[in-house]
Amino acid sequence: MNEAQKGGKVTKIVLITISVLFVLLMLVLPLISVLANSLKSGLSFYKEALSTVYVSSAFKVTILATVVAVLVNTFFGLVASWLLTKYTFKGKQVLATLIDIPFSISPVIAGLAFIMTFGRMGWAAPIIDSINEALGTDIKIVFALPGVCLATIFVTFPFVSRELIPVLNAQGKDEEEAAALMGAKGFTIFKKITFPHIKWALLYGIILCTARALGEFGAVNALSKTRGETFTLPLEIDALYLAGSADSITASFAVSSLLVIIAIIVLIFRNIFEHGSKEKEEQHKSAH
Amino acid sequence: MYVELKNINKNYGDFQASKDVNFGIEKGRLVALLGPSGSGKTTILRMIAGLENPNSGEIIIDGKVVNNISPAERGIGFVFQNYALFRYMTVYQNIAFGLKLKKWDKQKIKERVNELLELTGLKGFEKRYPNQLSGGQRQRVAFARALAPNPSLLLLDEPFAAIDAKVRQELRTWLREMIYKVGITSIFVTHDQDEAVEVADQIIVTNQGRIEQIGSPLEIYKNPETPFVSEFIGQSTIITDYHKLRGFDKGDYEGAVIRPEFVEAFKIDNQRFKNVIDCSEEGEVIDILFRGNALELKINLNGVILTTHRSLERRSIKVGEKVRVIIYRLYAFDKEKAYLLENKELIEKDIDNSRLESYLYSKDGYFVV
Amino acid sequence: MRKGKRVIPGFGLTFGITIAMLSILILIPLASVLVYAFRLSPKEFWETVTTPAVLYAFGTSILCSLIAAIINSVFGVILAWVLVRYNFPGKRILDGLIELPFALPTAVAGITLSKMYSTTGEIGEPLSKLGIRISYTHIGLTIALIFIGIPFVVRAIQPVLEKLDSQYEEASFILGGNRRQTFFKVILPELRPSLITGFGLAFARGIGEYGSVIYISGNSQKEHTQVVSYVIMQKLNYMDYSGATSIALILLIVSFLLLLLINIVQVKQSRRTNNV
């Protein structure tokens, strides 16, 4: 081993150690901390904490908002990524940037945006009112379930399209053109030609979108005020934690542990999918 | 005319990809669109296919204006540059795809696909995926897929670009034979003149969005009509002071193109050239390159650098050696046209230089003397 | 001209759906904020955004996000380097864990970090004995932002580093560059655009961050540990819509400028690599 190689080895060990320590301290320790805190008062307390009316209501609201957001954003993601990768048109780059907006703005602003649209001050409030009057319904958006769903959709809006666009770009549009040339209709092309390329990315995008939807806090916080009715799990965690007693804080961690477990499952899936898609990609890349 | 383009213009933003393109192709022809990259040849092909639309002008296939007809209804087969095989379908599914879309019945699809597998020599590969095939096999699949629905016009975009040089030669012959066997009118795009000359029976030379010349490979080679064609075809050297060469007067030209086969270089004691030796002048060999089947000589002739080929069967030659040089002809050009100029001294001597050449050239264009 | 000029069918449909959904779900609600903000009188607007509390909140958000993004850039490069260039047991797990902040709900991260670094927490307790307080200070705030931002930097750099041919480094070695020179003169410049992208994303995310920071920051107006998002939320809770909107407008502009910067860098980057 010469001097340079020895130096390389030392660097390698130092860098790996730094990385592992960083990840342990910054990422793993909090994870363990949640679980440890949640079980602080024993298993029976843990179970009890999870079976309050508030938690089960929050669980239902969270699932509802997540399902709606994932459905909407998956549909949008498929359509938008197809549009942005299979056609050339003016303003394409601008459109791509606009779709990414929710990534870089504060979730609180998302909440504010819906309040300013549908709330008492909002320009759309009279429209909703007149609809309610005409139909005899009592639809409320802000501080109600539709608002929670809208906020969740907003913050997870680009997740699916963002996963799909690079894959579709790498694939090119030759195959679709060839199929169109043979007379295939749009949906046939998508189903037979495009879809097999994006399965993995789509699945991963959906999972990421799900994870983010389950955990959304800031935007929903602005739009949901009724515990036990429109609170989602993160809001319930917030309420329990801010209640301040030792028991409620432990309960808050107990509810958190549910979401942590989901997060871990997401990460495991991600790992599997990434490997799956990488292998597939390599297999099929050579055919291009 | 089976395929006709009339006054076609095509812009991409500020870039004019096609400028007033006009040509016609007879039924049964195998035509090459030849030009450097960016010359607009692929655009022409894609417009015929309907993958692009011209800004103005008419495209006519089989007597019908097809501008408003979708690509799928133009009765064409298209082989993409990278073949665009469906990567998630087997060879069989790839070939059958177009037939399924046309709602053929299952038995007929099977028969047709098998027929094409047979024709293209892909029997036994039907269950493979594109990534399990070699480049040549992929081209065959693309070819079979394009032919499956019995198109009346076959379009191929750089069909050999994605193939190794070694296999390319073989595939050219294969493709040519295959197209004649099927008897389909075909147009292919290439930037490689050897490919065009070898495969096509008609060549359309494009440059900067315009058609430069249309003709048989021999016509294009022997009678280039424009400065571009004279320079693009063959291995050409461009010179400006052509009038310094013996046997050529200064005319109203911008310059001239000389191909290696227009230049004869021989040692002063070569008996075969003794009756023309006084039409020659002295040059010096300044570089020798081994080109596999011949030598390529660079010769300095009064300051003009010329290239010629020399058969390996001839006597050996060294850098620095003085040789006698005769230029048989050259293509002089002005801004628009190219003109063939023959060596006037040889004409005056009444030496039939085509006969002189006949023993100077072998069939493949290299010197045998 | 044939209708539907494009070869692949479906342009009109997908374009229509994309624009419609984008407008209804994102652009129109955001526009409502802008419209409302522009209806405020300049004086009202100016007074809101220049109150000391708001100015300090912006200062805190920007400064802490900046520091966190800088720290993340350093560790992000190291992590990306380790994950791309070295093989070691547990590499896949390490790689997977990077994404944890994406997957973990911000509120959960927030309460956990707050608890961990509080005077009774796993890390906070030993440190408090040394007289160091983390929770409810700017340090805690910054730690939360590091947590949130790290995947942005790593995931921006990783693919670029993967594509960077090792011949590049070998060429530098052969020309006599030592390891340090090679890294700083050859590799780092190659990574710069993606590093700026990652930095920008982490920074932008940090400035608007809410869930993960509000617990650990303590939100004390006196100690200037309120972040901008918290101030907006507070104003919303007090139904002070004009105040909330004014601040949101500034925050939107900052986010937009960062987004623009990232986009410019990305466009330049792709132009550069396309020319090679």
B57 contacts chain C (CB < 8 A): no
Chain C neighbours, 3+ Cβ pairs < 8 A: A, B
Distance from CA of C99 to the nearest CA of A (A): 7
For B3-224, CATH gives 3.40.50.300
User: Are B70 and C2 in contact (CB < 8 Å)?
Assistant: yes
Is ipTM strictly over 0.90?
A: no
- Domain spans in chain B, listed from the N-terminal domain onward: 3-224, 231-360
State whether CATH 3.40.50.620 applies to domain C42-275. no
Q: Which helix (H) or strand (E) holds A241?
A: helix A233-243
Architecture per CATH, domain A42-285, reads as: Orthogonal Bundle (1.10)
Residues of A in contact with B88 (CB under 8 A): 193, 196-197, 284
Read off the tokens for B162. Answer: 């994605």
Cα–Cα distance measured from residue B140 to residue B146, given in angstroms and rounded to the nearest whole number: 10
Which residue, A190, C187, A88, C194, is CA-closest to B51?
A88
Give whole-number Cα distances, B265 to A288, B31, B282, B317, in Å. 48, 36, 9, 11
Distance from CA of C89 to the nearest CA of B (A): 32
Mutate to test the interface with A, among B86, B133, B147, B157 (most CBs of A within 10 A): B86
Residues of B in contact with C11 (CB under 8 A): none
User: Mind telling me how many Å the CA of C4 is from chain B's nearest CA?
Assistant: 9
Which residues on A lie below 8 Å from C229 (Cβ)? Answer: 106-109, 218
**Measured CA angle at C96 (ends C95, C101), to 5 deg:** 110
C134, pLDDT greater than 80: yes
Contact state of B67 with C5 under an 8 Å Cβ cutoff: no
User: Among all residues of chain A, which has the CA nearest to that of C11?
Assistant: A83
Burial class (CB in 10 A: 0-12, 13-18, 19+), C206: buried
If you measure CA to CA, which chain B residue comes closest to A174? B84
Tell me what the pLDDT averaged over chain C comes to.
88
Q: What are C229-258's pLDDT values in tens digits? A: 999 999 999 989 889 999 999 999 988 888
Chain A residues with CB under 8 Å of C244 CB are 112
B317 Cα distance to chain centroid: 33
Q: Which of residues 157-176 of C touch A (CB under 8 A)?
A: none
Sequence letter at residue C131 = G
Q: Determine the Cα–Cα distance for residues A205 and A70; give it in Å rounded to an integer.
A: 9
Min distance B162 CA to chain A CA atoms (Å): 10
**pLDDT for res B298:** 93
Give CA separation, A251 vs A221, A241, B36, B130, in Å: 19, 8, 73, 56
Stronger pLDDT, A174 or A69, i.e. the higher one:
A69
Cβ atoms A228, A57 nearer than 8 A = yes
DSSP type of residue B279: G
Q: What are phi and psi of B12, to 5 degrees?
A: -115, 100
Chain A CB contacts of B131 under 8 Å are: 283-287
Please tell me which residue of chain B has the smallest CA distance to C5. B53
Fold type of domain B231-360 = OB fold (Dihydrolipoamide Acetyltransferase, E2P) (2.40.50)
Rounded to whole angstroms, how far apart are CA atoms A10 and A8?
A: 5
| pLDDT recorded at residue B367 | 41
Distance CA A75, CA A72 (A): 5
**Between A106 and A281, the higher pLDDT residue:** A106
Q: Is A193 on the interface with B (CB under 8 A)?
A: yes
Q: Are C109 and C216 contacting, i.e. CB atoms less than 8 angstroms apart?
A: no
A213 touches chain B (CB under 8 A): no
Q: Which of C93, C104, C161, C172 to mutate to test the interface with A (most CBs of A within 10 A)?
A: C104
Name every residue whose Cβ is closer than 8 Å to that of residue C115 and which is 6 or more positions away in sequence: A33, A37, A249, A253, C121
Q: For residue C272, what pLDDT band results from cuts at 50, 70 and 90?
A: low
Alpha-helical regions (H) of C86-208: 91-98, 100-103, 106-116, 124-129, 138-163, 166-174, 179-181, 188-208
What is the spatial distance between Cα B224 and Cα B200, in angstroms, rounded to a whole number?
17
In order, the DSSP letters of B66-109 are -TTS-GGGS-EEEE-TTTT--TTS-HHHHHHHHHHHTT--HHHH
Q: Which of C70, C71, C110, C57 is nearest to C251 (CA)?
A: C57
Burial of B75 (0-12, 13-18, 19+ CB in 10 A): middle
For residue B25, what is the enclosing H or E element?
A: strand B15-25
Query: Which residue's structure tokens are 């319904």?
Result: A137
Give mean pLDDT, residues A136-151. 90
Q: Using the beta-carbon criterion (under 8 Å), do B86 and A178 form an inter-chain contact?
A: yes
CB contact under 8 A, C101 and A113: no
User: In the structure, how many helices (H) and strands (E) does chain C have?
Assistant: 15, 0
Q: How far apart are CA A116 and CA C36, in angstroms?
A: 8
Most confident of A29-43, B62-76, C63-77: C63-77
Give tens-digit pLDDT for B243-256. Answer: 888 888 888 888 89
Sequence spans of domains, chain A: 42-285
C-alpha dist (Å) from residue A221 to A56, A234, A249, C201:
18, 9, 19, 23
Tell me if chain C has a CB within 8 Å of the CB of A263. yes
Greater confidence (C166 vs B8) lies with B8
Does B56 reach chain C within 8 Å, measured CB to CB?
no
Residues in chain B within 8 Å Cβ distance of A286:
131
Cβ neighbours for B90, distance < 8 A, ≥ 6 positions apart: B126, B127, B128, B129
Q: Is residue A7 within 8 angstroms of chain C, CB to CB?
A: yes
Q: Which DSSP category does B367 fall into?
A: B
* Cβ contacts of A173 within 8 Å, gap of 6 or more: A85, A86, C8
φ and ψ at A51, to 5 degrees?
Answer: -110, 20
Pairwise CB contact (< 8 Å): B53 & C1: yes
Q: Flag whether pLDDT at C171 surpasses 90.
A: no
Residues contacting residue B23 through CB under 8 Å, at least 6 positions apart = B4, B5, B204, B211, B214
Instruction: State the nearest Cα–Cα gap between A172 and chain C, in angstroms.
Output: 12
Tell me whether A258 touches chain C (CB under 8 Å).
no
Q: Which residues of B touch A284 (CB under 8 A)?
A: 87-88, 129-131
- Pick from B67, B69, B71: CB nearest C7: B71
> Do the Cβ atoms of C5 and B53 come within 8 Å?
yes
Q: Chain B: which residues have CB within 8 Å of chain A?
A: 49-51, 70-73, 76, 78, 80, 82, 84-89, 97-98, 101-102, 129-131, 133, 138, 145, 149
Helices A246-285 and A233-243: crossing angle in degrees, nearest 10, is: 150
- Taking an 8 Å cut-off on Cβ atoms, the answer to whether B131 and A287 are in contact is yes
Contact status, residue C142 vs residue C64, Cβ threshold 8 Å: yes
Tens digits of per-residue pLDDT, C10-53? Answer: 899 999 999 999 999 999 999 999 888 888 889 989 988 899 99
Position C52 scores a pLDDT of: 92
Report the alpha-carbon distance of residue A16 to residue C116 in Å, rounded. Answer: 25
Q: Would you state the pLDDT for residue A161?
A: 94
Counting DSSP H helices and E strands in chain A, the numbers are 16, 0
Copy the structure tokens of residue A35: 């679980």
Please give the residue of chain A at the shortest CA–CA distance from B74. Answer: A181
What are the residues facing B205 on neighbouring strands? B34, B213
CB atoms within 10 A of CB A215: 31
Total CB pairs under 8 A between chain A and C: 290
Return per-residue pLDDT of chain B as tens, 369 residues.
899 999 999 998 888 999 999 999 999 999 999 999 889 999 999 999 988 889 999 999 999 999 988 888 898 999 998 889 999 999 999 999 999 988 999 999 999 999 999 999 999 999 999 999 998 899 999 999 999 999 999 999 999 887 887 888 888 889 899 999 989 999 999 999 889 988 999 999 999 999 999 999 988 988 899 999 988 888 888 888 888 888 888 888 888 989 888 888 888 888 888 778 888 889 999 999 998 888 999 999 888 899 998 888 888 889 999 999 988 888 888 888 888 888 888 777 765 555 455 444 444 444 433
What residues 156-175 of chain A have any CB closer than 8 A to a CB of chain B? 174-175
Residue contact C111–A237, C-beta within 8 A: yes
**Contact (Cβ atoms closer than 8 angstroms) between residue C270 and residue C208:** no
**Residue A265 contacts residue A189 (beta carbons within 8 Å):** no
Contacts of B74 (CB under 8 A, 6+ apart): B49, B50, B61, B66, B153
The alpha-carbon gap from C253 to the nearest alpha carbon of chain A, in Å, equals: 10
Distance set, CA A279 to CA A100, A273, A285, A288, B132 (Å):
28, 10, 10, 15, 15
Question: CA–CA separation, C9 vs C12, rounded Å?
Answer: 8
With CB atoms and an 8 Å threshold, state whether C248 touches A108.
Answer: yes
CA distance C32 to chain A (A): 6
A184 lies within 8 A of chain B by CB: yes
Q: What is d(CA B158, CA B77) in angstroms, rounded to the nearest whole number?
A: 14
Query: Could you identify the residue written with the tokens 């670029």?
Result: C160
Which of A182, A188, A189, A284 would best serve as a mutation to test chain B binding (most B beta carbons within 10 A)?
Answer: A182
In what helix (H) or strand (E) does residue B333 lie, and over which residues does it extend?
strand B329-333
**Calpha distance C24→A195 (Å, rounded):** 27
